[in-house]
Amino acid sequence: MPTRRLPLISLSAFVCLLATANVAMAQHEPASGGGTIGGGSTSRPSTKPATKPATKPPAAATTRTRTSTPTRTTPRVNRPTTSAGNPSGTTGRPITPATKPATATTSSAKTAAESYYQQGETLYNAQKYKEALDLYLKAAELNPSMSTALYRIGWIYNDLEDFDSAVDFLRRVILLQPNNSAAFFELGYANKKLERYNDALLAFQQAARLKPDYAGAHYQAGWIYNELKNYDDAIDSLKLAVQHRSNYPEAHNELGYALRHLGRYSEAIEEYQEAIRLKPDLALAHLGLGDVYYYNTKQYADAARAYEKGLQLKPDNATAFYNLAWCYNDLERYSEAIGKLKAAVSLKSDYAEAYNEYGYALHQLQRYAEALQQYQTAIRMKTGYASAHYNLGLTFVAMNNRNAALEQYRILQRLDNERATKLFNQIK
């Protein structure tokens, strides 16, 4: 085949052509969630998830129900209206111990303790938990073996986030009632919030042994196994949770997380999709699904759709915004990427990788002066950031600033020889 001769072009046209060619040469950061937060996954909360409900059901059949809901600062998961002797299989915490206390110190002390306890119940049913606590404490002081009061005290301390105090009283309940699965669950909850995961795991496992269909206890054990990176055992516990409670989106979400970390991506996708089917507004399931598509199967259009929905529901995750923007850049949706990167850096002002990706989007739109600013910001945030230096050099090439590009080349010679060579080839 004969060699074709290229037509002559003017110097100005050549410079324009060089700049246009370099648009596609800026480095798109690999899909790693650059500078990822919390280990790089957006599928689980960075803080420990609350298991307490927005409303508290009645303590026993003799108490009145309540319809009003107190204001909460953290999301809660609904819990059952059953007594603690028969705790429901949910992530929520049960509310009453299995049995009444066996004895009191004296007859008069027992009578007084019962009076304080009933007054506490009235306040408890009115959701005046702090006031109820004082009365339960008086009852327990008069009758130290009154396990119902001790359990209430432990429950309320958990509700008030005084977890150390909760542990003390719940241990007393268990000494009096070693078969009280609800007390073990509460103890596990307190230890989990204190990040004493081994102690929490033992308590949840005992709750499940005492009540094998206790789905909430199985779920919590699975959650802790995931936190401890013991994914095989997490799967075993979580499968028991969904076995005993079919409508359990949070457990399916945790299953997706465990399966993804075991490299079982198609199964993870199925679990996240099931969680979403059961609870379409479960943001973490959408974000977790996005993670599988983004980090593992490299299905960036699918990842973008999952992240979009997750961020609509929970717009507070800088990593997810970064990942979504990366997908948009990969799909050549640069203007949309810029909007998401602005959101990422507004949530995490020192997010160097987001500034670098921001510069990439601007470069692709040939907004070179703005791209320079973003790359320079990324470099200030992260010393020795080779990718940002490389992209900055390419933008200088696109702007026909050879000396500035050569300066970035010399920096890259110290940081990354491969990138330095690639940049030098563009400068020549």
Q: Is 253 helix (H, G, I), strand (E, B) or coil?
A: helix
Rounded to the nearest angstrom, the gap between the alpha carbon of residue 11 and the centroid of all alpha carbons in its chain is 55
Residue 32 is predicted with a pLDDT of: 61
Please indicate, yes or no, if residue 401 is contained in any of the structural domains: yes
**Angle between helical axes of 352-364 and 334-347 (0-180°, round to 10):** 160
Residues 61 and 203 in one domain: yes
How confident is the model at residue 295, as a pLDDT?
A: 97
Q: Is 99 contained in some domain?
A: yes
What value does the mean pLDDT take over residues 179-189?
97
Cβ neighbours around 12 below 10 Å, total: 8
* 102 in a structural domain: yes
User: Is 56 in the same domain as 107?
Assistant: yes
Residue 255 falls inside a structural domain: no
Copy the structure tokens of residue 373: 């600013």
Cα 75 from Cα 314, distance rounded (Å): 12
HSE-CB of 204 using CA atoms within 13 angstroms: 31
Residues 327 and 361 in one domain: yes
Choose the final residue of a domain: 185, 219, 245.
Answer: 245
Same-domain pairing of 198 and 88:
yes
In this structure, the answer to whether residues 13 and 76 fall within a common structural domain is: no
Domain that holds residue 233: 45-245
Instruction: Determine contact, residues 228/197, Cβ cutoff 8 Å.
Output: yes
Q: Is the dihedral of CA 107, 113, 118, 119 positive or negative?
A: positive
- Exposure string of 370-407, with b = 16+ CB inside 10 Å and e = fewer, is bbbebbebbbebbeebbbbbbbbbbbbbbbeeeebbbe
Is there a single domain that holds both residue 160 and residue 223?
A: yes
44, pLDDT greater than 60? no
- Answer yes or no: do 232 and 88 share one domain: yes
* pLDDT at site 28: 67
Average pLDDT over residues 104-123: 90
Q: Are residues 163 and 93 in the same domain?
A: yes
Nearest to 338 by CA among 312, 371, 314: 371
What is the reported pLDDT for 92? 54
Q: What is the pLDDT of residues 215-242, one digit of tens each?
A: 999 999 999 999 999 999 999 999 999 9
Would the pLDDT of 203 be above 70? yes
Q: Which of 34-43, 183-192, 331-340 has the lowest mean pLDDT?
A: 34-43
Asked if 159 and 151 touch (Cβ cutoff 8 Å), the reply is no
Question: Where does the pLDDT of residue 106 fall: very low under 50, low under 70, confident under 90, or very high at 90 and above?
Answer: confident
Query: Scanning the structure block, which residue is given the tokens 């319809």?
Result: 67
Q: Are residues 119 and 226 in the same domain?
A: yes
What does the DSSP assignment read for 167-194? Answer: HHHHHHHHHH-TT-HHHHHHHHHHHHHT
pLDDT, mean of residues 171-176: 98
| 98 close to 85: Cβ distance less than 8 angstroms | yes
Which residue among 245, 263, 292 closes a domain? 245
Region of poorest pLDDT, from 54-58, 139-143, 276-280:
54-58
Integer CA distances (angstroms), 225 to 204, 234, 283, 308, in order: 11, 5, 22, 29
Q: In the structure encoding, which two tokens stand for residue 403, read together?
A: 């000396």
Q: Residue 102, Cβ neighbours under 10 Å: how many?
A: 10
Decide if pLDDT at 47 tops 70.
Answer: no
215 and 84 part of one domain: yes
- The C-alpha atoms of residue 327 and residue 358 are separated, in whole angstroms, by 12
Residue 84 has pLDDT above 50, yes or no: no
Assigned domain for 280 exists = no
Does residue 257 sit within a domain? Answer: no
pLDDT band at 93 (very low <50, low <70, confident <90, very high): low
Q: Give yes or no for a contact between 407 and 427, defined as CB atoms under 8 angstroms apart.
A: no
Q: What is the mean pLDDT of the chain?
A: 83
The answer to whether the CB of 303 falls within 8 A of the CB of 327 is yes
Instruction: Using the 3D structure, point to which of 245, 275, 304 is the last residue of a domain.
Output: 245
Q: Are residues 347 and 221 in the same domain?
A: no
Least confident of 42-46, 354-358, 405-409: 42-46
Rounded Cα gap, residues 295 and 257, in angstroms: 13
Percent of the chain scored above 70 by pLDDT? 76
Whether residue 256 lies inside any domain: the answer is no
Which residue, among 98, 70, 101, 67, has the nearest Cα to 82 in the 3D structure? 98
How many domains, in total, are found in the chain?
2
Joined together, the tokens standing for residue 390 give: 């490389």
Q: What is the pLDDT of residue 115?
A: 96
Lowest mean pLDDT among 16-25, 181-190, 247-256: 16-25
Name the pLDDT band for 428 (thresholds 50, 70, 90). confident
What was the pLDDT predicted at 90? 42
64 and 160 together in one domain: yes
Confidence (pLDDT) at 193: 97
Position 27 confidence tier, pLDDT thresholds 50, 70, 90: low
- 258-297 pLDDT, tens digit each: 999 999 999 999 999 999 999 999 999 999 999 999 999 9
Domain presence at residue 276: no
CATH of the domain at 158: 1.25.40.10
